[in-house]
């Protein structure tokens, strides 16, 4: 199993927009082959700080997800809303930061 942790820092006051735009992404992603879980969490005291916590069957499923149109659409919509993004891909033997 491979885990992905995607840390998002929205521009000030844009957290609500990110959450709204993420809803269709979450729905579509959960239907992908190899997706075990895909959830978005929001920091209670810092509403512009969000994190996706994902579980995937293997790295090939993660790679397939990265090429999905619904993810690319979300990424394009986020271009003006996000101040920071850090993605960690956690394998049993290593952690990649992309």
Q: Could you report the per-residue pLDDT of 46-62, keeping only the tens digit for each?
A: 999 999 999 999 999 99
Bridge partner list, 89: 4, 96
C-alpha 56/C-alpha 35 separation (Å) is 5
- Parse the chain into domains and list their residue ranges: 2-97
Do residues 50 and 15 lie in contact, with contact meaning Cβ atoms separated by under 8 Å? yes
Cα–Cα distance for residue pair 29/6, rounded to 1 Å = 14
The architecture of the domain spanning 2-97 is 2-Layer Sandwich (3.30)
pLDDT at 98 > cutoff 90: no
Q: Is the pLDDT of residue 29 over 90?
A: yes
């Amino acid at each position: 199993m491979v885990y992905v942790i995607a840390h998002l820092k929205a521009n000030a006051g844009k957290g609500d927009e990110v959450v709204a735009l993420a809803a269709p992404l979450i729905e579509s992603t959960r239907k992908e082959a190899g997706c075990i879980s895909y959830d978005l969490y929001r920091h209670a005291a810092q509403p512009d700080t969000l994190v996706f916590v994902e579980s995937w069957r293997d790295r090939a499923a993660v790679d397939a997800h990265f090429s999905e149109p619904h993810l690319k659409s979300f990424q394009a919509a986020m271009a003006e809303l996000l101040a920071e993004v850090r993605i960690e891909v956690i394998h049993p033997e290593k952690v990649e930061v992309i």
